[in-house]
Amino acid sequence: MSIIQMEGLSKSFKYYEKELGLKKSLKNLVKRKSLIKEAVSEISLVIEQGEMVGFLGPNGSGKTTTLKMLSGILYPTSGQATVLGYVPWERKKEFKMQFSIVMGQKSQLWWDLPANESLYLNKCIYEVEDEPYNLVLDELTEMLDVKDLLNIQVRRLSLGERMKMELIASLIHRPKVIFLDEPTIGLDLISQKRIREFLKYYNQQTKATVILTSHYMADIEDLCKRTIIINQGKIVYDGDLRRVNELFHAKKIIKLQFTDEVPRQALSDYGVITQHDGLNAVMEIDKHDLQRLSKMMLDRFPILDFTVEDIPVERGIESLYQKDGVRHESLAKV
Amino acid sequence: MKALQKYKRTYILALQNEMEYRTDFLMSIISGGFIILVQCFLWTAVFRSSPQEIINGYSYSQIIIYSVLSGVVSKLVSAGFEGEVANDIKTGGLSKFIAQPIHYFSYRICNFFGGKTVQTAVVLVLFVILMIVFTQIWEFQLRVGQIVLFLVSILFGLLINFLLFYSISALAFIITEVWGVFIAFNQGVYLLSGAIFPLNIFGDTFARISSYLPFQYVVYFPVKIINGSLTIHEIVPGLLLQAVWVIVLMIISKLSWDSGMKKYVAVGG
């Protein structure tokens, strides 16, 4: 059985536009032009139990909105979704008891009290018995190495430490589905890595289904086998992140180093030059012509070093972002 | 039973939280003291310059007692959480309550009473001292029954004030910048509840209008119980009316929050 199903899920917001200037402000008092922004449009997805799925997309692409609909915070404008068999926006208690949402930018901890007070409150909110609570707490604090920090006021903790506490707070009731909205935002590399390792381990241990949004490629590359790239409210890619470039299969990157200067024009016959300074050059070449062209170049130019590379994943995603979300073909079930 | 645990816990947490802010509360008591002091000076000046012994039905000692008691009571029942609620609505903090199995209203009320418990303890000590002072310098008498009824009316007053501010904070669903409304509402309640002057000072028409409003039951009514100007036959219907207002305001707050929740758009994309 699939844990999460979405069928044509859409959400549009009404907002007001105000042009620059005092005059326009006055005009706005009387009459406001309301516009409609489609934050999420027609998203259909199926996610199975134990999957760890990454939502990737630029700011304002609709990642958070999707998560908010899945956790019942927002009503969709149209479309359907079920999580664990429940319709999230019916906000049933049985549903709430089985999932968790962590918003990296919003704290659920009591600022002026030690973290363990907030954790204990969550224990009560989710009606967890003493014994399992102590067990989970022990396990999680050990894994995240924050045992000594439980008695310190939350506001005195560092951002990374606080994020770890947020995670613990949201896992106290052993949710079957976890939504993580930017869990590593603003953290340094080591903390990011720590949290990633933890999430990976937790997912493997508990078989919980996890959806994660992030701006950091590393987060998703490291954690999620399946990546869903969203742009302007639409799914533009669904599949393995490493294979994103197969959408643009055609190209390879060649790095060249010469013993003597080679002019730019001479190279331009073979492909698109992205970097050139006489002795070094980086070019993009059609994959199919790679063999033929490189042979020709090796014969023609005084080449010292020659390497062929794949186009980096970031580049592929960038071009997906720029495609205005019109692209629908996906490499999903490969 | 287990479900109640979460609210009990919220109450305890709010209590602890309040203790973290001891100085803050102490300062607010001191600032309240200034207002009382100003009122005492004002009334002293009024009575000195007037040939009459009784002004608007109050003797000098009665009006001073009223001013002091109303100052203390209004501090005791003051809300002050409306900003937090508005902030939750504006910045999307409310989202976590929608996603968790806990009711926002119950959470808020436990939080409110948790914070109030500490304040009440301090205020009651203050109260006892004041009472002793009053009974010493003026012929001011207190009966046990009066104190009990006073405490009951304070509890209702707290509830009414909580519900008033909880309802008004639902405006944050419609108006994004709601501070101006809160300040105006605060001042309005301050005046209409009788925290500054006893309400009958403003004349009969005003008194009649305000008897149809819930505000006088927040400060004016409890203070009149303790200063002895009401008979038991006036107190009991008053308490019943307080209870009625609690129910009416509960319905109002439920309606305003339900319609607000429908509008609620969690911030951020």
Instruction: For residues B148-176, give the mean pLDDT.
Output: 92
Q: Using CB atoms and an 8 Å cut-off, which of residues 26-85 of chain B contact chain A?
A: none
Comparing A28-42, A210-224, B174-188, the range with the smallest average pLDDT is: A28-42
**Could you read off the pLDDT of B191-216 as tens digits, one per residue?**
899 888 888 888 888 888 888 899 99
| Confidence band, pLDDT 50/70/90 cuts, at residue A150 | very high
At A177, the amino acid letter reads V
What's residue B1's pLDDT? 62
| Sheet with A280-286, side-by-side order of all strands | A272-276, A280-286, A251-258, A303-309
| Confidence band, pLDDT 50/70/90 cuts, at residue B267 | low
Residue B244 per-residue DSSP state: H
Contact B96, B102 (CB under 8 A): no
Residue B10: closest C-alpha in chain A = A121
What's residue A248's pLDDT? 62
Instruction: For residues B24-35, give the mean pLDDT.
Output: 82
CA atoms of A183 and A193, how far apart (whole Å): 11
Q: What are the backbone angles phi and psi of residue B51, rounded to the nearest 5°?
A: -75, -20
**A31 close to B (CB below 8 A):** no
Question: A278: distance to nearest CA of chain B, Å?
Answer: 46
CB contact under 8 Å between A68 and B95, yes or no, is yes
The token pair that represents A270 in the structure block: 């073979």
What's residue B266's pLDDT? 56
C-alpha distances in Å from residue A234, one per residue of A43, A56, A231, B7, B161: 6, 11, 5, 41, 47
> Is the per-residue pLDDT at A108 higher than 80?
yes
> Is the per-residue pLDDT at A197 higher than 80?
yes
Which residues in chain B have their CB less than 8 angstroms from residue A100's CB?
99
Please, is A131 exposed, middle or buried when counting C-beta atoms within 10 Å of its C-beta (0-12, 13-18, 19+)? Answer: exposed
**A265 close to B (CB below 8 A):** no
What's residue B166's pLDDT? 94
Question: A204: distance to nearest CA of chain B, Å?
Answer: 24
Closest CB to A127: pick one of B3, B16, B21. Answer: B3
What's residue B222's pLDDT? 93
| Confidence band, pLDDT 50/70/90 cuts, at residue B124 | confident
Q: To which residue do tokens 């997912």 refer? A: A203
Question: B65: distance to nearest CA of chain A, Å?
Answer: 38
Predicted TM-score of the model (pTM): 0.80
> Is the per-residue pLDDT at B241 higher than 80?
yes
**Could you read off the pLDDT of B47-91 as tens digits, one per residue?**
999 888 888 888 888 888 899 889 888 888 888 888 889 988 888
Looking at every residue in chain A, the average pLDDT score rounds to 85
What's residue A276's pLDDT? 87
> Is the per-residue pLDDT at A64 higher than 50?
yes
Instruction: For residues A264-282, give the mean pLDDT.
Output: 84
Residue A170: closest C-alpha in chain B = B100
> Is the per-residue pLDDT at A332 higher than 60?
no
**B176 close to A (CB below 8 A):** no
Q: What are the backbone angles phi and psi of residue A64, rounded to the nearest 5°?
A: -65, -40
Q: What is the CA radius of gyration of chain B?
A: 20
| Confidence band, pLDDT 50/70/90 cuts, at residue A156 | very high
Q: Characterise A20 by phi-psi region: left (phi > 0), alpha (psi -120 to 50), beta (else).
A: beta
What's residue B11's pLDDT? 93
CB pairs under 8 A between A and B: 75
CB contact under 8 Å between B5 and A127, yes or no, is yes
Residue B8: closest C-alpha in chain A = A124
Q: What is the DSSP string of B178-209?
A: -HHHHHHHHHHHHHHTTSSS-GGGG-HHHHHH
